[in-house]
A = this chain, B = another copy of it.
Amino acid sequence: MPRVVVDVMPKPEILDPQGKAVLGALPRLGFTGVTEVRQGKRFELEVAEINDGVLADIEKLADTFLANTVIENYTVRVES
């Protein structure tokens, strides 16, 4: 079944406490070399078929429901 992926990430200028918490934990866990971590959400939507109408619907869905566009960016893509 075709799958559409919506990635939702905090905007670059928005503080990301979850990402900061992960980043802060890395040295204690022995991992070095990672300089920045951002944490967001990934949605996998299964649809009956892919067409322009469905993609427009999912775009609108992402814009109004899955992401808070005041603080988050999103991308919509068809997973191959």
Chain A positions near chain B (C-beta within 8 angstroms): 1, 7-9, 19, 22, 25-26, 29, 31, 33-48, 54, 57-58, 60-61, 64-66
Does the CB pair A66–B35 fall under 8 Å?
Answer: no
Does the CB pair B47–A35 fall under 8 Å?
Answer: yes
* 29 residue pairs A–B, Cβ–Cβ below 8 Å: A1-B36, A7-B42, A9-B44, A19-B43, A22-B65, A22-B66, A25-B65, A26-B61, A29-B64, A29-B65, A31-B61, A33-B57, A34-B45, A34-B46, A34-B61, A35-B46, A35-B47, A36-B45, A36-B46, A37-B44, A37-B46, A38-B43, A39-B41, A39-B43, A40-B41, A40-B42, A41-B41, A41-B42, A42-B42
